[in-house]
Structure 1
Amino acid sequence: MYTLNEFESRDVLDEKLAHHIADVLTQAVNQKGKASMAVSGGSTPKGLFEKLSNMPLPWSNITVTLADERWVDFESKDSNTRLVHENLLKDNAKAATFFHIKQGEKLTSDVLATLNEQALAQVLPFDVLILGMGEDGHTASLFPCSAEIKQGFAPDAQPLLAVQPATAPHQRISFSFAHLAQSKSTILHICGDSKKNVLEHALVSDDHFEMPIRAFLHGDAADTSIFWAQ
């Protein structure tokens, strides 16, 4: 299921979304003493991250992680971990804990097993999940072109899986749909006409192997709030 929220500008969207996220995280901390949030990379969330970083949240009780990551060094321009540290984990938000899903040089089966244990213990289920969407309809690193796409949607999937896209660079690590869909608040954050066109295409069918974002838009597995601005 989904609801579509449209805004007159990206700045207004970022302001509204930041307050929505703040409310969910604060409520979670008040109820259980901690909260977790998974975010996505790219340029779209930078403005949102800036606003969140200055908000007076109980950051010391909040753990931030990524919905997916490229298996690259922190110094790489393609590192979402670096993007989050430079744009979100500063000012007030520097008190938050960051759960690294990229650990070590190689993504071996042993590394993946350890990460899955840590994810279950430290961040899952998420209180907030912020997704992006590619032009091919992928979200997180659930790519329709990858050999791992069925594994990513398996009902009994482990929290994290290794992904090698056929049409994008770098090996990836991604949370599986089964665990992403358990988030208390799931948000699809997109901007611009091209992403609106992709969204409209995604809404005409429920074939999530063709466009993985559809799994978050159709059916009852996830309840997704779409935040869009020009």
Structure 2
Amino acid sequence: MSYQVQRFSTPQAASEALARLLAERLSAGGRAVLGGGNTPLAAYRAFGQADILWNRVQLIASDERCLPEGHLERNDVQIAKAIGTTVLPYTLHSFRAELGPERSAEASEGLVESLLPFDVVTLGLGEDAHTASLWPHVDLGSERLVLPVHGAPKPPPERVSLSPKALSQTQLVVYLVTGASKREALARFLRGEDVPPSRIRAPEVLVFADEAAYPDRV
């Protein structure tokens, strides 16, 4: 599988490029996975200003933290806040993560199946080369679409995540990677090491990276 890396001078420039790509791919509606965490929130804020057919857009987070419904640290809450309320109604599907990893994964399997294939999947990359809530100790070869996650190295330890099988059912995967702390993880991914994002396959794979994460030589 080949990757195309696009290098930007700043994290903001990379975020703006991701927002433009989302608006382009979803201009007439569609289904997309949005990666969680703080890194992509600037991109989602810009995406929320796009003039697209929002009433035909269906979104779901790549993973969720097992926290109470409406908790400020949940990905669905952060994504909704970033996109904002000025756009026309759109659908943001939520994992029932408040039920715990196993019950949430079971309850979400049918929902995710109904959304496949995705039009675009956006993901991030952790300093340890994880993506979504997929770490090496998770069963990355599972045939399930939604995986329960225990013992995540970063809090909270209990999560639920789309699986490599689910995330691979798309035409395009885009990774947003910024900051010097991600440099080694990105290098491992691009070298083809067996890190979690390497288990996700798609016809098109783009990496939007800033200069800190992807210097002249990685």
> What TM-score does the superposition give when structure 1 sets the normalisation length?
0.82
Question: Percentage identity across aligned positions?
Answer: 24
User: What amino acid does structure 1 have at the position aligned with 2:96?
Assistant: K
Deviation at 1:113? Answer: 3.0
Q: Which runs of 4+ in 1 moved over 4 A?
A: none
Counterpart position of 1:10: 11
For residues 205 and 38 of structure 1, the distance between their equivalents in structure 2, rounded to whole angstroms, comes to 23
CA RMSD of aligned residues (A): 2.0
Residues 1:174 and 2:155 are matched in the alignment: no
Aligned partner of residue 57 in structure 1, secondary structure: coil
User: Any gaps of 5 or more consecutive residues in structure 2?
Assistant: 213-218
User: What amino acid does structure 1 have at the position aligned with 2:22?
Assistant: I
Aligned partner of residue 95 in structure 1, secondary structure: coil
Q: 1:221 to 1:54 in 2, by over 3 A?
A: closer
Deviation at 1:108? Answer: 4.3
1:225 alignment partner, one of 173, 192, 206:
206
Q: 1:167 to 1:107 in 2, by over 3 A?
A: closer
1:184 alignment partner, one of 159, 166, 171:
171
Aligned partner of residue 91 in structure 1, secondary structure: coil
Counterpart position of 1:98: 92
Counterpart position of 1:68: 63
**Equivalent residues, number:** 209
Counterpart position of 2:189: 202
Deviation at 1:215? Answer: 2.6
Counterpart position of 2:116: 124
Deviations 1:31-83 (A, max 9, x none): xxx41111112111111011100111101000111010111124434311111
Aligned partner of residue 99 in structure 2, secondary structure: coil
Matching of residues 26-45 of structure 1 within 5 Å: 26=27, 29=28, 34-45=29-40
User: What amino acid does structure 1 have at the position aligned with 2:145?
Assistant: P
Q: Is the 8 A contact 1:131 1:139 kept in 2?
A: yes
User: Any gaps of 5 or more consecutive residues in structure 1?
Assistant: none
Deviations 1:77-110 (A, max 9, x none): 4311111111124321x5110111135534444x
1:86 alignment partner, one of 81, 88, 94:
81
User: What amino acid does structure 2 have at the position aligned with 1:21?
Assistant: L
Aligned partner of residue 45 in structure 2, secondary structure: helix
Aligned partner of residue 161 in structure 1, secondary structure: strand
